[in-house]
Structure 1
Amino acid sequence: MKLKPLTITFLTFCVATFSGMKAASAASFSVIANGLYNAGGLSFGPDGNLYVTEAGIGGSGACVPPPSGQGGSLCYGRSGAVTKIENGKTERILTGLPSLALPDGSGGAGPRDIKFDATGKPYVLIGYGANPAFRDRNLGNTDLGKIITPDFNTNSWTTIADLANYELANNPDGGDVDSNPLGFVIDGKKLVLADAGANDLLSVNTDGRNLQAIAAFPQDILTNPIFPPSDTPSNEPAQVPSQGEAVQSQFATQAVPSSVIKGPDGAYYVSQFTGFPFPEGGAKIYRVGADGKPTVYADGFTQLTNLQFDHEGNLYALQYANQSAWKGNLDGSVIKIATDGTRTTLLSGNGLESPSALTIGSDGAVYVTNRGDSPGQGQVLRIENTKSVPEPDSVLGVLAIGALGVGLLHNKRTTQLPIDRVVVLK
């Protein structure tokens, strides 16, 4: 059975309280964009400006059931967008993209990632987060669950491939039918995409041909899992032991792929967002080679949302929250994994809250979409002065890339938004 954690969207388990922020590094950051609606992936364009996706807040259109079968329905609108950040200003340069969300705007599924190919052509990934059978039946003709290529000059786009329909027709992992593509990488003339709902890695040519699954990811079996108290709000209420009920010593959970990046060795590296009950230290980074078999490259993380390599072969991992999400503390972390396996934390908490994606600029700074599940409160942070604090030796599981360090491909209505906050962590 493919368990359906709210984590496949990072969207319906929104906790309003943020507490216990801890100083953990000597990095500083500035807020370069504010007021974003369910901010997702970000990438530098050929013009040197930063582009970020906004999943939007749904709308008053038709609705579909949530993936877990619990909670309110997700309703359709055209509130998704792509926003450009240039010289302290933000401008929504692509609007009217499809979006699903709860009535309060949380749980937003829509534009989730953006990348530019070697010619400067943009591609945008649109999430979905429900059973694909409901999409056309309930919502009509929409681009949810697809990859598109936009024309920013005409505010239009062309559909490249229908990932949700592929899941409906093929269901590669054999579990529940669901699709929610969240991240992708461009590899020459090929797009490689992580579908959290389908629990697989897909490949498709940039012209839309040869859409296929190249890997599926295994269930995790938790030993002596820690569950929230029985009176704690949860997206999986049926799985929370009631008062007096014996807690299972072995518990199957579906941890889903949340992003993918190509490594210096030519393999794909995939971040894992752990399923309910979101075990701390339970998330992994998988390596998928030419044989399509996922192997664990690194472990000991918590609720990973994104990965990025720099030119030196260092891998950066983004944690949505450092604690189990149900605890209500959504302080996140940026963790750097050196080629020798050493881990350092660049930033943890202190304003970094439920981050969704990161990229590395030509200036060497790390850019992060912050508060990615908070409609109207999303931000883009620029992290600099990245002196960092080594992780404890107890965090194990890295297989170093080592001598494989070769040149990498990486992500190279107008409102004035000044850099409104600079925080220096002591």
Structure 2
Amino acid sequence: MAILAAPAQATVYASTVIASGLDNPRGLAFGPDGALYIAEAGALNPGGPTVVGAEGEAAFGTSGAITRLFQGTQTRTVTGLPSLTNAAGTASGPQDVAFYNGVGYFVVGLGNNPAVRTNELGSAPEAANLASLYSFDGGAVTKIADLGSYEAAFNPTGDQVDSNPYHLTAGPSGLLVVDAGGNSLLSVTDAGTISAVSTFADMGYDAVPTGVSVGPDGAFYVGQLTGFPFPPGGANVFRIDPTTNTQSVFATGFTNITDLAWGADGSLYVLQFTDAGLLNGGTGSIQKLNGDGTFSLIYGGLAAPTGLEIGADGAFYVTQFSASAGIGQVLRIAAVPEPASWAMMVAGFGLLGCALRRRRVTVRLIG
């Protein structure tokens, strides 16, 4: 009997909506309790004081939240958090969640000079809580560090003062926070001490660092959105040595990166907000960085994705519709188990083995 191996099958991924109705969902992380925590930047804030930023006039309010998803139950466990929203519904508020030593943390963004918190927005005392790092325990919140004040006082890049804390992750001695406005990577201890780890220089356009992840080698990896004109293929992944803080370009050719995550297979996965570039619109994707520096599509067709997390189950968890209020989602994206298929040829009998029937599923196929 001769058994002929079937050709290698392409990996098939399918997505499931596991959370919906979110307001500008951004970063997400699994907690020590096994629940998935999602940062919501907020919804429209009518009637609050306003300030003009890069995306036009935005009103201050307290519609930001942290949502907990556990065993299919979706609950806003932390509410009343600072938020700036414009007329289109895009918000800057709670941007990401992370856990360090079993404690939950989140950052709140701004996207402006920190001085606006007490100037243009001064009639709302809570506006002072923008551009800050917090810890949370259930619904209780504690302010850990004022990242906006650090940018105003020290301005690590020496450029225009601007702060927009965007993503964070657990580091070796506290939290690593990317300030997309300040073009810097910061380290913050659980006692609130802030220090600059690295800065990101202009490349003919603004760097705009976004996602951060600690690699299997212990180094810090940071992806960049890039600034105007948001060139397709112009986004890099940088590697920062954790001992010397030396920065180097680790991977190139990406477009508008919003987050990074390392898989259990030792591969780096990159989330692109849009594959065609922000000025061209279109959908985003998850890309896998290959060993030769190229990258492969894992899953495309994502609508304004911002947060990426890889679960203990090996699935990808992604926030999408992250620039809209009320329609935000979290997707679980997982490989579809493929039934074994083979052909058997039996010498002398002319018998051809049967093929297994495959289930019909709505999926996206990659090569």
Shorter chain as denominator, the TM-score bin is: 0.7 to 0.9
| Whole-angstrom CA distance in 1 between matches of 2:186 and 2:49 | 29
Structure 1 equivalent of residue 267 of structure 2: 314
- The C-alpha deviation readout for 1:184-236, integer Å capped at 9, x for no partner, is 11124311110000011111211112x1111110111xxxxxxxxxxxxxxxx
Q: Calculate the aligned-residue CA RMSD, in Å.
A: 1.8
| Whole-angstrom CA distance in 2 between matches of 1:272 and 1:114 | 19
Letter in 2 for 1:117: Y
Letter in 1 for 2:222: V
| Whole-angstrom CA distance in 2 between matches of 1:48 and 1:255 | 35
Letter in 2 for 1:315: L
Tell me if the contact between 1:282 and 1:300 (Cα under 8 Å) persists in the aligned partners.
yes
Q: Which runs of 5+ in 1 are unaligned?
A: 1-23, 221-251, 388-421
Shift of 1:328: 2.7
| Whole-angstrom CA distance in 1 between matches of 2:362 and 2:61 | 36
| Whole-angstrom CA distance in 2 between matches of 1:43 and 1:180 | 20
**Superposition map of 1:12-411 within 5 A:** 26-59=12-45, 60-66=47-53, 68=54, 72-106=56-90, 108-118=91-101, 120-139=102-121, 140-141=125-126, 142-152=128-138, 155-209=139-193, 211-220=194-203, 252-289=204-241, 290-329=243-282, 331-339=283-291, 341=293, 343-349=295-301, 352-385=302-335
Structure 1 equivalent of residue 364 of structure 2: 425
Tell me if the contact between 1:269 and 1:287 (Cα under 8 Å) persists in the aligned partners.
yes
| Whole-angstrom CA distance in 1 between matches of 2:96 and 2:309 | 11
TM-score (norm 2): 0.85
Residues 104 and 342 (structure 1), Cα distance of their counterparts in 2 relative to 1, 3 Å cut: closer
Tell me if the contact between 1:334 and 1:345 (Cα under 8 Å) persists in the aligned partners.
yes
Q: Secondary structure at the match of 2:118?
A: helix
Shift of 1:311: 2.4
Structure 1 equivalent of residue 344 of structure 2: none
- The C-alpha deviation readout for 1:119-160, integer Å capped at 9, x for no partner, is x210011111111011122333431100001121xx331111
Tell me if the contact between 1:346 and 1:386 (Cα under 8 Å) persists in the aligned partners.
no
Letter in 1 for 2:309: T
Residues 212 and 58 (structure 1), Cα distance of their counterparts in 2 relative to 1, 3 Å cut: farther
Shift of 1:176: 0.9
Q: Which runs of 4+ in 1 moved over 6 A?
A: none
Q: Secondary structure at the match of 1:166?
A: helix
| Whole-angstrom CA distance in 1 between matches of 2:79 and 2:14 | 32
Tell me if the contact between 1:27 and 1:425 (Cα under 8 Å) persists in the aligned partners.
yes
| Whole-angstrom CA distance in 2 between matches of 1:213 and 1:159 | 19
- The C-alpha deviation readout for 1:246-277, integer Å capped at 9, x for no partner, is xxxxxx21021102111111110001001111
Q: Secondary structure at the match of 1:133?
A: helix
Q: Secondary structure at the match of 2:120?
A: helix
- The C-alpha deviation readout for 1:307-351, integer Å capped at 9, x for no partner, is 01122321110000001212232x1010112456453211011xx
Q: Which runs of 5+ in 2 are unaligned?
A: 1-9, 338-360
Q: Secondary structure at the match of 1:176?
A: coil
Tell me if the contact between 1:81 and 1:111 (Cα under 8 Å) persists in the aligned partners.
yes
Residues 131 and 25 (structure 1), Cα distance of their counterparts in 2 relative to 1, 3 Å cut: farther
TM-score (norm 1): 0.74
Shift of 1:425: 2.2
| Whole-angstrom CA distance in 2 between matches of 1:72 and 1:191 | 31
Residues 276 and 342 (structure 1), Cα distance of their counterparts in 2 relative to 1, 3 Å cut: closer
Letter in 2 for 1:257: P
Letter in 2 for 1:63: T
| Whole-angstrom CA distance in 1 between matches of 2:186 and 2:81 | 22
Q: How many residues align?
A: 327
* Higher RCO, 1 vs 2 (CA within 8 Å, ≥6 residues apart): 1
| Whole-angstrom CA distance in 2 between matches of 1:205 and 1:386 | 41
Q: Secondary structure at the match of 1:253?
A: coil
Letter in 1 for 2:50: C
